[in-house]
Amino acid sequence: MDEARTGQAGADKARQAKEASYRFMSAIGGNLPGFEDASRALFAQDQADFSSKIAHWPPDVRSYLAWLSRNAFCS
């Protein structure tokens, strides 16, 4: 029972991180090059591709997005 709850908590944390990251990305980075590809990588849980797609974005946006998405790739 506790294992199932812990597993669900991890999945919830990853989902919340993806949603928060996507909301920030669409509001701030929606017009940045590679936005759609970065979004796909985020929801596909492909951290390497996600990082490469946002690599040319402004440093402050990248850094905040890295913080927001820190749990998005953990499930």
Tens of pLDDT, residue by residue over 23-62, are: 999 999 999 999 999 999 999 999 999 999 999 999 999 9
Model-level pTM? Answer: 0.83
Residues 6 or more apart in contact with residue 37 via CB below 8 angstroms: 49, 53
Q: What is the Cβ-side half-sphere exposure of residue 16, based on CA atoms within 13 angstroms? A: 7
pLDDT value at residue 16: 95
Task: Give the count of beta carbons closer than 10 Å to the beta carbon of residue 31.
Answer: 7
Q: Are 69 and 49 in contact (CB under 8 A)?
A: no
pLDDT value at residue 40: 97
Q: Is 32 left (phi over 0), alpha (psi -120 to 50) or beta?
A: beta
Q: What is the DSSP letter of 69?
A: G
